Every structure is written in structure tokens, then in C-alpha cells.
Amino acid sequence: MESIQAIKQRFGIIGNDPKLNRSIEKAIQVAPTDISVLVTGESGVGKESIPKIIHQLSHRKHGKYIAVNCGAIPEGTIDSELFGHEKGAFTGATSTRSGYFEVADGGTIFLDEVGELPLTTQVRLLRVLENGEFIKVGSSKVQKTDVRIVAATNVNMFEAIKKEKFREDLYYRLSTVEINLPPLRDRKDDIHLLFRKFASDFALKYKMPTVKLTDDAVGLLLKYRWNGNIRQLRNVAEQVSVLEQNRTINGVTLQNYLPNTGSNLPAVVSSTKSESDFSSEREILYKVLFDMKSDLNDLKKLTMELMKTGTTSDVQKDNEHLIQKIYGDDKEEDFEASIEDLEVLSIPAHTSHTDQPEEISTENEDKYHFAEEIEEEETLSLHDKELELIKKSLERHSGKRKLAAAELGISERTLYRKIKQFDL
Ligand SMILES: Nc1ncnc2c1ncn2[C@@H]1O[C@H](COP(=O)(O)OP(=O)(O)O)[C@@H](O)[C@H]1O
Ligand SMILES: [Mg+2]
């Protein structure tokens, strides 16, 4: 069996990502069998190499290899393209024609973008997969073929099945083995490697010195979302190679070639939902702040009382409802402590402090003392709320900090600090 490295070299596959290696390994393993394979992954991740590897390493390698882009063939002609037609089957069918399934007998057919197949064609495909039988358009004669099928899709097949755009039985028949290729953003170690390879290829092609990236440009490359994956990276490398006079490319220059990097945000965050969640969370925060403000006013009132009477027991008695409101039942002890602290400050009793500057300063200290207490409470409650917001946001984005930070309107670094702080 050829090694993964040798296969990569033979098929021009760059990268050392473990997930990529695993996918190639899987392709090597299934190649000698006739098992149907479904290659999945976003657009531009390199799905097209997989069926080629499978065909080349199989006993069919001397047979035909036909790649069909199911999304590019008009619905009206696809059955005829795949299965052929009889003379006179439809207007313009002036002669009998063989379809790919007949031509590729003994070989491999790669059905790219298989999710785009019309439902009627899916029925025909299921039949050919199950027993090798097919019927030309406009014919009634059943024909036999021996074709291995490798299909690829960049759409979520379960979604397509749910929407009844794709037959579930066909999906299971096609995906006996599934080979998934990871998106480029999940192959961080390969990004710069691929860029260097493309830059060097384009330098050769256009007979110019190879472009080089500065560290900040490399940083940008790694941070970018690459929705178009390797295809997009290759395009960027080509544009930069052709257009930039200065062959050292910094971040500012590179940025011009990366659409939307400014807000390197998730493409679509189910906005309506998160917005409504967020506004209700904001409401909770407002309520907490409002309650705290009301507590603060009550505490001010208590303080005034204390300053006037100077005896804690009277204050306690006369303001039971306030104490109850601010501290609740279980906070009795805390309140005692606060009162004791106040006594330590020895507020002079029965003084009209307005005309005594020193006492005014005591009053300030006293207020300050309470403010501190309140501040502590405020910080605590806010922390709890913040913690809740962060937790929710992280949950919503399944732990993806970048998305959560964007939603919370804080930097990723700040979010990281908070996660550490709250031990999340
Ligand atoms: N690992 C890789 N190394 C080098 N080039 C790659 C690699 N993966 C993909 N490419 C290139 O990226 C482009 C898109 O690949 P393709 O197989 O057409 O993607 P998909 O079919 O998944 O949309 C092609 O030009 C391909 O040669
Ligand atoms: Mg493709």
C-alpha cells in the first residue's frame, strides 16, 4: 500500500493536518473495494482529489474515470447525460446516445455536488447502485453496468433529506463510507504552508520573485475565516503575486485581498434569535441595576437615620421594613457587622454636622464606607450576571470564543481573561 506521503506527492496535496491525513488514509483503505464513498466538506477544501485517489488505487484504474458535476447539468438533460437516451426520446434526440453509466462500465464515476440531483434522477441512481441496472431515457430495455460511485457534497445532506430534496435511502446507499475533509480554518498549521506553495507556483508561472509574508500578514492569514477554503487561498496568493510590486507583503496590504476581514465575524449568527436573547439579558441587567439603586437609596436613608440618632438599636427597630428589604432574613448577621463597622467610625450623635467641617468629613467617610459595601454587592451581582451572559454566549457558540466575544462585544483577549477569572 502506498504511503500517505507518496499519495500526497502524486496527487499534489499539500498539508500535514492529522484530519487531512486521516481522510487520505481512509481513501487508500477503501480504494480496492467497490464500496460507495461520499466525500463531504465545504466548498474548496479539496474534495476532488479523493475520488481520483480511490480510482487510481483500485482495480478499475485502467477503466474510465468520469467526473460529473451534477449541479452544472440542466435538470432536463441530466437523466440523458447519465443514462443515455434512445433515438426520438425527446425533441432533438436524433440518435441513440450512451450515458456516462454505460461509458464508464468497469470504471469509476465521480458525482460531484450530488445533493443537486433532481429527485427523479435520484430514483434511477438508487437502482443502478443497488443492482447495476439502468434504463436509457425513452427506452424500456434494462441494461447492466459495473460502475463504482464516489459522490461529493458540500451541503448538509440531513438538511436536504429533511426538506425532502434528497432521498434518505439513496443517502445511506451512497455514504457507506464517508470521508470528510476539514475546512481550512481548522487546519491552521497548513495555511501558511499552502500559501508558500501557491506563491512559489505563481512566481514560476508569472516569472516574478516569490512574494513573502511578514509576521503580521501570516497572523492575518491564520485568523481569517476562509469561507472559500483552499480555492480562496489560492486565488489570494495569485492576486497578491501578480499585483504587488513590493514582494514583501505586510498585514495592511494583505488585508486588501481578504474580504470582510475587518469584521472577521461569523458569516451568519442566527441573528434574530441571539438578538432577542440579548435584549432580554440586557433587560435583566437593567433590572439588577435598578434594584441596586433602590437599595442604595434605602441605605442612604438608614445612614441618615443613624447619624441623627446614633443608636443602632433604635435605628434597627424603626427601620425594620427597610432592613428586611435590603438584607433579607438571612443577612441579619451581615447587617449587624455593618452597623458595628459604623460604630467603629464613631459617628457623633445628635450633631448638626452642616456647620462642622470635620464631621462633614466623617459623614463622607461614612458614606464612602457604605458605598464600598454596596460596590462590593454591585460588583458581585454584576459578576453573576456577566458570568451568566458569558456562559450562555459560549454555550450558544459551542465554546467558540471568537464568536462569543463578538457577540458580547468584547475582545477575545478580554473574554479569555474572564473565562480564567470565573474559572469557566
Ligand atoms: N491539500 C491541497 N493542496 C494543494 N491544493 C489543494 C489542496 N486541496 C485543494 N487544493 C486546490 O484547491 C482547489 C479547490 O479544490 P477542489 O478539490 O476543487 O475543492 P472542492 O471540490 O472541495 O470544492 C483546487 O485548485 C485544488 O487543486
Ligand atoms: Mg468541487
Residue nearest atom 21 in ligand 1 by C-alpha distance: 47
Distances in Å between the Cα of 195 and the Cα atoms of 146, 154, 169, 210, 224 are 41, 23, 41, 11, 13
CA pair distance 175, 315, nearest whole angstrom: 78
Distance between CA atoms of residues 246 and 211, nearest Å: 8
Task: Decide: 106 and 146 in contact? Cβ < 8 Å.
Answer: yes
Q: How many Cβ atoms sit within 10 Å of the Cβ of residue 417? A: 12
**Which among 150, 153, 194, 230 is the best mutation to test ligand 1's pocket, defined by most ligand atoms within 8 Å of the CB?**
230
pLDDT (0 to 100) of residue 144: 98
Q: Which ligand is nearest to the CA of 46?
A: 1
Cell output for 8: 500526497
Buried b (16+ CB within 10 A) or exposed e, 97-136: bebbbbebbebbbbbbbbbbbbeebbebbbbbbeeeebbb
Nearest CA to ligand 1 atom 15: 46
Distance 33 CA to ligand 1 centre (A): 25
Contact 110, 67 (CB under 8 A): yes
Are residues 111 and 152 in contact, defined by beta-carbon separation less than 8 angstroms?
A: yes
Which atom of ligand 1 is closest in space to residue 48's alpha carbon? Answer: 17
**Cα end-to-end span (Å), the chain:** 46
231 backbone dihedrals φ, ψ, rounded to 5°: -60, -45
> What is the pLDDT at residue 347?
35
Residue to mutate (ligand 1; options 231, 235, 238; most atoms within 8 A of CB): 231
Cα–ligand 1 centroid distance for 234 (angstroms): 9
Atom of ligand 1 nearest to the CA of 45: 22
Please give the number of the atom of ligand 1 that sits closest to the Cα of 49: 17
DSSP assigned state of 137: B
Q: How far is the CA of 66 from the centre of ligand 2 (A)?
A: 14
Ligand 1 centroid–CA 271 distance in Å is 32
The model's pTM is 0.64
- Side chain identity at 35, as an amino acid letter? I
Ligand nearest to the CA of 69: 2
Question: Which triple of cell numbers denotes residue 273?
Answer: 434569535
Q: In degrees, to the nearest 5, what angle opens at C-alpha 129 toward C-alphas 140 and 144?
A: 40
Task: Identify which of 4, 48, 112 to mutate to test ligand 1's pocket (most ligand atoms within 8 A of the CB).
Answer: 48
- Structural contact between residues 206 and 243, judged by C-beta atoms closer than 8 angstroms: no
pLDDT at residue 414, rounded to an integer: 79
Average pLDDT by consecutive 10-residue portion of the chain (424 residues)? 90 96 97 96 97 98 97 93 94 92 97 96 97 96 97 94 96 97 96 97 95 97 96 97 95 92 45 40 54 70 72 70 60 39 36 37 36 37 70 81 80 78 72
Please state, in angstroms and rounded to a whole number, the distance separating the CA atoms of residues 257 and 195: 13
For residue 188, which amino acid is it? K
CA of 47 to the centre of ligand 1 (A): 7
Distance in Å, CA 261 to ligand 2 centroid: 25
CB-side exposure of 407: number of CA atoms within 13 Å? 31
Residue with cell 451568519: 268
Ligand 1 atom nearest to 234, measured from its CA: 12
Predicted pLDDT at 274: 39
Three-class SS of residue 84?
Answer: strand
Ligand 1 pocket, 234 CB below 6 A?
yes
Which residue's alpha carbon is nearest to atom 20 within ligand 1? 44
Check residue 395 and give its pLDDT: 83
C-alpha cell at 420: 480564567
Q: The C-alpha cell of 181 is what? A: 475533509
